[in-house]
Amino acid sequence: MSSPSSVSHFQTLVMSFHGVIVIETVEEERVRSLINTAINDMQLAVFEWSIAQGLTRAQGNIHNRWTNEYAPPEKQPPQAIGKTAEPLDMLRHIETMAYPAIYWLKDLARHLDDAVVARQMREVVQQFSQSRSTLVLTGHSITLPPDLAQEVVYFDLKLPQPEELYQTISEVVRSLRGKIKVEIQPDGINALVQAMRGMTLQQARKVIAYAALHDSKLSADDVNRVLQRKVQVLHEDGLLDYIPAEMNPAQLGGFEGLKNWLTRARVGFGAQAKAFNLPPPRGILIVGIQGCGKSLAAKTIARTWSMPLLKLDAGRLYDKYIGESEKNFRRAVTLAETMAPAVLWIDEIEKGFGQSDNDNDGGLSRRLFGSFLTWLQEKSEQVFVVATANDLTRIPPELLRKGRFDEIFFVDLPNEVERAAIVQIHLRRRKQDPQRFNLADLVQVTDGFSGAEIEQVVITALYRAIHEQRPVDTDLIVEEVKATVPLSISRREDLHRLRTMAQERFVSVK
Domain range enclosing 91: 4-154
Using a pLDDT cut of 70, give the percent of the chain over it: 93
**Burial zone of 184 (CB within 10 Å; 0-12 exposed, 13-18 middle, 19+ buried):** buried
pLDDT of residue 72: 47
- 466 and 421 in a single domain? The answer is yes
Indicate whether 398 pLDDT > 90: no
What's the average model confidence in pLDDT over 478-490?
A: 91
Residue after which a domain boundary falls, among 111, 137, 154: 154
- 420 and 406 in a single domain? The answer is no
| pLDDT band, very low/low/confident/very high, at 68 (cuts 50, 70, 90) | very low
- 233 and 343 in a single domain? The answer is no
pLDDT of residue 354: 64
- 263 and 386 in a single domain? The answer is yes
The string of DSSP codes covering 153-221 is EE---PSPPHHHHHHHHHHHHHHTBTTBEE---HHHHHHHHHHHTTS-HHHHHHHHHHHHHHTTEE-TT
- List of residues 6+ apart from 141 with CB closer than 8 A: 24, 324, 327
| pLDDT band, very low/low/confident/very high, at 58 (cuts 50, 70, 90) | confident
The neighbouring-strand residues paired with 508 are 410
Q: What pTM did the predictor assign?
A: 0.74
pLDDT of residue 436: 93
Are 48 and 104 within 8 A, CB to CB? yes
pLDDT of residue 67: 44
| pLDDT band, very low/low/confident/very high, at 78 (cuts 50, 70, 90) | confident
Indicate whether 5 pLDDT > 80: yes
Mean confidence (pLDDT) of the chain: 85
- 57-66, 140-149, 288-297, 400-409: the lowest-pLDDT one: 57-66
What backbone torsions phi and psi does residue 209 show, to the nearest 5 degrees? -60, -45
Indicate whether 235 pLDDT > 70: yes
What's the average model confidence in pLDDT over 381-401?
A: 84
**Burial zone of 83 (CB within 10 Å; 0-12 exposed, 13-18 middle, 19+ buried):** exposed
- Dihedral angle of Cα 74, 77, 82, 85, to the nearest 10 degrees: 110
Indicate whether 505 pLDDT > 70: yes
- 314 and 433 in a single domain? The answer is no
- 123 and 55 in a single domain? The answer is yes
What's the average model confidence in pLDDT over 193-208?
A: 89
pLDDT of residue 13: 92
pLDDT of residue 199: 87
- 468 and 400 in a single domain? The answer is no
- List of residues 6+ apart from 278 with CB closer than 8 A: 268
- Going by their DSSP bridges, the two strands 342-347 and 240-243 should be labelled as unpaired
